[in-house]
Amino acid sequence: MDGTRQRRRGDTRQRIQDVALGLFAEQGYEKTSLREIAERLDVTKAALYYHFKTKEEILVSIFEDLTKPIEDLIEWGRRQPHTLDTKQEIVRRYSETLAEAAPLFRFMHENQATVRELRIGEDFKARIQSLRDIIIDPDADLVDQVRCASALFTLHAGMFLLQDLEGDPEERNKAVLEVATDLVTQAHRGAGGS
């Protein structure tokens, strides 16, 4: 039996998402044409339109599938007391989530201008803000607020911009996490935590 052909049955939708995300992350959203995606999958452009109503919907569907864990994390965070432990746990779990869906987050990071006009732009922004609101004490001083925001940027950027730093990726990720955790911790202390 032809396993390749067999497996293709029914998972075209998934394959489109995979290939699309790959290309979006590599070249950007605008520079990736549906022709290119279709060619790489060896189907016609029209087949893409059978599975998704628009180009944007391809992206939206990827986004929704892959950012579910963040929604869960926010949900969880909201129900916890705002202790240092909680904050550190948020940072840790967020960094894990980022690593697991690295291509998507790399895409989001590098295509902000594009994404801003798309529906997911708002969604993503809102999510990050929610995370920040859990980590930041609203009555902390401005510097500590910036520290918390910076912790999140550091996680984001750590994934994409540090690829030239020496050391193996795992260690690098650990270092990034440590810096982010540190920033949150300092902010917590400054805000009167013990």
Partner DNA sequence: GATGAATGAGTTTTCATTCAT
Partner DNA sequence: GATGAATGAAAACTCATTCAT
Residues within the interface to its own copies (CB under 8 A) = 27-31, 107, 109-114, 116-117, 129, 142-143, 145-147, 149-150, 153-154, 157-158, 161-162, 164-165, 167, 171-172, 175-176, 178-179, 183
Least CB distance to DNA at residue 148 (A): 37
143 interface partner picked from its own copies, DNA, none, CB below 5 to 8 A per type = its own copies
CA–CA distance, 154 with 161 (Å, rounded to integer): 10
33 interface partner picked from its own copies, DNA, none, CB below 5 to 8 A per type = DNA
Least CB distance to DNA at residue 179 (A): 38
CA–CA distance, 19 with 17 (Å, rounded to integer): 6
Nearest to 95 by CA among 188, 189, 178, 163: 178
Interface ranges with DNA (CB under 7 A): 8, 10, 12, 32-36, 43-47, 49-51, 53-56
Burial 128-146 (b: 16+ CB within 10 A, else e): bebbeebbbbeebeeebbe
Nearest to 26 by CA among 12, 13, 14, 40: 40
Question: Which amino acid makes up residue 16?
Answer: I
Q: Please say which residue, 60 or 146, places its beta carbon nearer to its own copies.
A: 146
